Amino acid sequence: MISIIFTWFVRSTGLSAFWTEAVLIAILVAGVIAGYEDWRHEVYEEGVRDTIAAIAREDKKMVDRAIDARSKWQQCETDGGNWDETTGRCH
């Protein structure tokens, strides 16, 4: 198969066998590099997506804790208590 492509390329371009071989090797190397870059980009994107998802999970936990703390403060205010910011307790 390779010899057929090689012969066709030599005849169609008029290049010498050396230059034909050099061009075909360059095309092969470019294909390998392009494939590697595509794979590397996909791995990078997957890492970015995982990182963003982890940050979102942590943010949700922080928001949930803040909502819980606010509801305790509101309950203290509703019950007529006095909220102590230093201790985080209702008196």
**Count of domains for the chain:** 1
For residue 73, give every residue at least 6 positions away whose Cβ sits within 8 Å of its Cβ, in sequence order, or none. Answer: 83, 90
Decide if 27 is inside a domain: yes
Q: Give me the tens of pLDDT residue by residue for the chain, a chain 91 residues long.
A: 777 776 777 777 776 777 777 888 898 999 999 999 999 888 888 988 888 888 888 888 888 888 888 888 889 888 888 888 888 888 8
Decide if 88 is inside a domain: no
The overall pTM is greater than 0.75: no
Decide if 24 is inside a domain: yes
Query: Which residue range is the domain that position 43 belongs to?
Result: 2-77
Beta bridge partners of 83: 90
> What was the pLDDT predicted at 30?
94
CB-based contact 81:90 (threshold 8 Å): yes
Decide if 82 is inside a domain: no
Decide if 90 is inside a domain: no
> What was the pLDDT predicted at 88?
81
> What was the pLDDT predicted at 29?
94
